[in-house]
Amino acid sequence: MVQHRPHTIVVLAMSADGKIADFRRSPARFGSSTDKAHLEKQIAASDAVLLGANTLRAYGTTLTVSHRTLLQHRTQEGKPTQPVHIVITHSANLNPEIHFFKQPVKRWLLTTTVGALSWQGRSEFEQILVFETPTGKIDIPAALHHLALLHIPRLAVLGGGELVASMLELDLIDELWLTICPLILGGISAPTPVEGGGFLAHLAPHLQLLEVHTVEQEVFLHYRLQRPAD
């Protein structure tokens, strides 16, 4: 029996004060080479990655699997060398000239009916997935159910904070990997791992710490979401 959605993890690096970018929302490149290797490992262990349009606009690119051992593991498991990279965006207002569209990955677009119009008949995205609520928003639960039907059992969410917030609110996250990096960014407008409207303390998602380790000046935290049955 196909599970109702992929096992979904969030992988993010943040400053010591909980910011995933500075107040200008510049690309967050403050993680070490160890953190980058950690991110690549999580991507390699996934069947697809999901990233919001603002994250893609900030970087203009995505991280591909390049480490020989990780590539070998994927091949041995009968998987393609790269997971599918899925961009989620309501408007689908993306620059087709960014480097992302030249990278050797399968690209899918998850959007609304209106967002899909500008990409119909083009070659940048292999698939355009339209899942829409009656209010015109992306129906993320329905989209994730569809991914499970397409035999994508593990999904890695790479940001940004609005996407993570909406998925937490819908109880669609299973694990979080958070890297704490040794710098302070500050700024009331600087983005955090979870944006949105926020949660009241008695309704907030609760976590169980599964793993913590330090490498030089960085702390790697691994959590699972606690469900009522726990």
24's CB contacts (< 8 A; 6+ apart) are none
Q: For residues 58 and 208, give the distance between their C-alpha atoms in angstroms, rounded to a whole number.
A: 31
Q: What is the domain range of residue 80? A: 7-225
1 lies in some domain: no
What's the pLDDT score for residue 84?
A: 98
Question: How many domains are contained in the chain?
Answer: 1
230 lies in some domain: no
Over residues 143-152, the pLDDT tens digits come to: 999 999 999 9
Instruction: State whether residue 75 is helix, strand or coil.
Output: helix
2 lies in some domain: no
Q: Are 105 and 86 within 8 A, CB to CB? A: no
Q: Residue 1 — pLDDT band, cuts 50, 70, 90?
A: very low
214 lies in some domain: yes
Q: For residues 155 and 157, give the distance between their C-alpha atoms in angstroms, rounded to a whole number.
A: 7
Task: Report the CATH number at residue 136.
Answer: 3.40.430.10
The answer, as to whether pTM is greater than 0.85, is: yes
Task: Return the residue matching tokens 């994730």.
Answer: 144
